[in-house]
Structure formats: C-alpha cells, structure tokens
Amino acid sequence: MSYPYQIRSFDEYQVAYRVSVNEPEQFWASVANNFYWRKKWDKVLEWNFKEPNVKWFQGAQLNITENCIDRHLKELGDKPAIIWEPNNPEDRTRIVTYNRLHKRVCQVAQMLKNNGVKKGDRVCIYMGMVPELAYAVLGCARIGAVHSVIFGGFSAQSIADRLEDAQAEYIITCDGAFRGGKDIPLKSVIDDALVGNKKIKRVIVYTRTRTPVSMIKGRDVWWEEEMEHAETQVEKDGAVSFPAEVMDAEDPLFILYTSGSTGKPKGVVHTVAGYMIWTTYTFVNTFQYKPGDIYFCTADIGWITGHSYIVYGPLCAGATSMMFEGIPTWPDAGRFWDIVDKYKVNILYTAPTAIRSLMGFGLEPVKGKDLSSLKVLGTVGEPINEEAWHWYDENIGKKKCPIVDTWWQTETSGIMISNLAGITPAIPSWASLPLPGVQPVLVDENGNHLPEPKEGEIVSGNLCMKAPWPGIIRTTYGDHERCRKNYFATYENLYFTGDGALKDAKGNYRITGRVDDVLNVSGHRIGTAEVENAINMHAGVVESAVVGYPHDIKGQGIYAYIIFNGKHGDDELTRKDILQTVSRIIGPIAKPDKIQFVPGLPKTRSGKIMRRILRKIAEGETSNLGDITTLLDPAVVDQIKNNRV
C-alpha cells in the first residue's frame, strides 16, 4: 500500500504547506480522494469561528470502519493489524490480522444491535487495554453509535458524571484489568457509578481477570456469550459480513472527556470524515510510516492519543499497531525495550513522563536489548525537556533515529505541530514546524498578532489557530456555548489553544505550557515549564512542578515542588544549589522563592500533573482541594500538604 499524500522531502513539505494554506479545499480534496466513500462530497469546507461552525466534506457519506478494515482485506487480510502484548510477559500474546479484526468488529456490531444499540446512541466503554477494547470502539463506529471511552482508572463518581453528561444508555466493561502488579476491579466501579442511574439499559462484561462480579438480571450480560450468539449471525458459508451503517461526513464519531478549568469535564466531539482524514494524514507523515513497519504507541486508548494513534490513524493507513496492556516499569524498567527487541519495533511513540521515569533507573535495563530495529522515536503529551530528549536520542535511538516531538490536544484530534521524521529538521525541546493545514499565530493578551521574528529573534505569545483543519473540535457535547467560550471567544476569529509558545525566524514553535501556568513575577512573564526545565537540569532532581502563589512584593512568587534523587541531608545547601542552577540557566528573576522537597507529585493516571492542587497548597488553601480520587496516588497530597514550606 502506498500513500500518494506522503511527504518525502523538505521541498515537498514546503509545497504541501503552501498549497494547504492557499487552496485548502483543493488540497484536502486531493488527500480525501485516497479514501473509500459511499458518496463523494458536495463541498469540501464551510466555516466560521464566531458561532463556531465548521463543516468538512459536506454531503459525503462513508463509514470509518470500511476505511480502517474492509478496504485492506484484499491486500492485507493476512497481515497483522494489531499486535497485543499482555501485562504479564509470560502470558500469550495475540496477533490480530485484518481478516480477524474484520470478523471481530462485525461480531461486536451484531452484538450491539442484538442488545438494542442504534445509530446515534451513546455507548460508554470502560475497559483495560485488551484487543476487545479496540473491537468495541470499531464495533460502535460500524453501526453509527457514538462511543465514549473512559480511561480504566477513573473513579465511580467521574464515570457517573460522564454517563450523565453523555446521556449514555449502554456500557461495555471488563470484570477487571491488569496493570503492573495490580488487578483493577472495573465492573465493581461501574456498579458503584450506576447507583441511582435510571438510563443504562445494558452492561456488557468481558472476562479478563476472573474477578468475582455482581451480574444484575436484565441489565448485565457476558461479552463471551453475546459474541458467540453474534458469530452465528455474521458468519454464513465461511464469509463474514455485517453491513456498515452509512454515515454523513459530519455525524459524530465519538465523545471524549477532557478536564476543564472549572473542574467539570468537557465532552469533546469529533466527527467521522474530518477526523479520519486528519488522523491518517498526520500518522503517515509525522512518523513517515512505511508499509510493513511495526508501530508501537504506548498510550492508553482511554486518551485521545490511543484513539488517534493506536486505533483509527494506523488502521486507516493499513499499518501494524502494537497495543500494550502493562506499564513501562513492570515487572522491571526494561519492559519497553524487551517489547522493542521481541517484535522488532520500528516506530516508538511515548510520553516524556515515561522517558524521565525510565531515566531514573539508569542504563542497566537497556543493556543487552536489541534496539537496532528502531527507525523513528516520538514523544507526546507535554513538551519534552532537553535532558530527556538527549537521553532518548543517545540511549534508545543510538543517535540514528529522528525524534518527532508532537504537540496537539484532545480538541485538535491529531498532531498539529511537529517535525516530520527525517524530513523536516528536529530541534531538541521544540515542536518545530506546523503540519500542512495548520495555521498557527501568536497573539498578545489583547489578541494583537505579534510581528514575525527577525533573524536571531524569538517571539513569545499565546498560541492560536486562524483557520480550521479537518480534525478540529466541532462542539462540546450538549453544550455548544461552552465550546464557543472555551476555544473561540477569547480572541476574535481565532481558535485559542490555551498554550503559550515561542517562535523563531524560521517558523519553528516551542510550546511553553498552559498560559494559566505562566507566572507574572515583578512584571516579568515566566513560563512554569521553563523554570521546571531549569530545575530539572540539576543533577539530583528527578522531577519538579512550579506554580505561582501570592507574594507581597513581586505580585507572584515562584513555589517549586521537587522530587530529589538520593540524599539532601542539608536541605538549605541543596536549595541554594538548585537556585544557582536556575539562575545560571534562565536568570535570577526565575529563581523559586520557596522550594519544597516532596516524595511524589499529584498526577492523573495519564501522567499529567494536577497543578490546580499544587497551586492551592502553595496559596495556603489546604482544606478545599476538590476531587483527588482520579489521581494515580491520592495519598501523596496529604504528604505535600503536611510539609508545606
């Protein structure tokens, strides 16, 4: 399978980018022509950012699963679509060919239909990282049901809130999930979430851990029994079929909840056609995927990275996508490298948090592992600091693998700013150039466009987009006004990312972090990410998080929470060493006013630091910290609170 839209040189990138900006309709029509449509579009694009209202490929009809699966069957039917590596390395791995994937997705579609699910119904999926999670997602898409995957670690209250917001009537879950050395009881969490819920009609339960569960008559059914019945319906005379529902281009594909500044999660809605085009295009080009490559994204399908770059993007491209049930440090810190060695992985896409965590174990876990198959490395989720970038480059890529440092969001659905592997230049800790179709602009606080930087200059501002790309958020479920206010009302006629960025004279971008994580110290704007990077350069620092707190003289002071490796018996001397490091790297203005050594940081299970909690503790507000049940380790909050400096 070849990709006519794959960029193969820097010159081709420049041409593609120019055409995508000057003639977006022509550009995206030429890309879209490489997909399977039941009916072609009448109009490529209609948009305004005021309402907001964005429509791509209007009048077109398709089903995304026919593009993920059916169109590959003739050439790739016996090729692996998904390779599944279980939590326990001694358990049996599973290789799912495109033929097998087709059969399973048709079965799930039939099973959903048997249980009353119809086009447009919302199906909540709360499962561990098993292939059945991918089957469930694609099965929903095949019948036109809207899936809403919830990461298999959220609390019952968080699930209840999401079920209520989505007005979901169906749930697919597991008895439990394996994660490192833990068994997580998923079904019992669902049971707790459903106390008082009158809308849920059916809960389908897949058996994974054999954890005892309560099955409620008339509501709960076993996946295995339902699938067995569905198999006899979809398989006739050796052939498997379940007709894919014909969807309009702008029909919703899924809802994915992301945390908002108010604490109430926002249900980000993505639609069928634009999302399909965007995730496939960005996957093929960013990673420079070649047919036959083994691609390993270490994310969870419960997050947007897993939706776009484990399931939809790779499968639409006919790729082989690895799916991992476990964690990088179990049973030891060499797990990723074992997987790369075992499957001869060519492309590895992971989070800076994971890289920094693995750095802490030194090079012993990497020794003896054959990583020579690797061709491309990638990072996602947050800006990667230089030290981690170089460690990744030298010890994992052996200085021969381009590293793609990808910036994007749940709301953008796919990669927005990143170097293309081996095609456009990589700059450590810079996301670099926008992908074709992406039109970034930096503005000041008042929305004034900042001037283009001259040679040697760097401009700093708030990162916005001035035109839509196919994968842009369409709405927040059930509350379009919230979508408008959050993303389109801050600056007129612009999509506001909520991030700050730097831009150099060559058009490269470096993301500096959330704008609400920018401090104003004595009138100087300082990005917390910048201070953290400087602190992290100190030899003994494992990780840090910086927030602002009220300061009588400076307006805002800088409060740093630091995980320190080894002994810091003389806390005062260690603090001075760290201040000296920050002063040398950024300048005295960026020196933290308070440093607290902590055993850990409050993180979500995706590795995101909950700065809201740290900010409140720094400000002295320790009684009203909001919901901390979704944290990886809620106990760490009390330890931080009790030792506040």
Q: In angstroms, rounded to a whole number, what is the distance separating the alpha carbons of residues 266 and 486? A: 10
Helix (H, G, I), strand (E, B) or coil at 61: strand
Q: In angstroms, rounded to a whole number, what is the distance separating the alpha carbons of residues 568 and 588? A: 23
Q: In angstroms, rounded to a whole number, what is the distance separating the alpha carbons of residues 400 and 49? A: 42
Identify the structural domains of the chain with CATH numbers, from first to last: 11-327+402-499 (3.40.50.12780), 522-642 (3.30.300.30)
Q: In angstroms, rounded to a whole number, what is the distance separating the alpha carbons of residues 439 and 510? A: 15
DSSP-assigned beta bridge partners for residue 47: 54
The position carrying tokens 């876990």 is 365
* Residue 137: predicted pLDDT: 98
DSSP 236-282: ETTEE--PPPPEETTSEEEEEEE--TTSSPEEEEEEHHHHHHHHHHH
- Sort 292 into a burial class: Cβ within 10 Å, 0-12 / 13-18 / 19+: exposed
* Residue 261: predicted pLDDT: 44
pTM exceeds 0.95 for this model: no
Q: In angstroms, rounded to a whole number, what is the distance separating the alpha carbons of residues 245 and 66? A: 10
Contact 606, 151 (CB under 8 A): yes
* Residue 569: predicted pLDDT: 57
Q: In angstroms, rounded to a whole number, what is the distance separating the alpha carbons of residues 388 and 542? A: 11
Contact 174, 128 (CB under 8 A): yes
Q: In angstroms, rounded to a whole number, what is the distance separating the alpha carbons of residues 125 and 562? A: 36
Ranges under pLDDT 70 in the chain: 153, 259-264, 516-520, 522-525, 552-555, 566-569, 586-587
* Residue 88: predicted pLDDT: 95
Contact 114, 190 (CB under 8 A): no
Q: In angstroms, rounded to a whole number, what is the distance separating the alpha carbons of residues 540 and 236? A: 64
Largest CA distance in the chain: 80
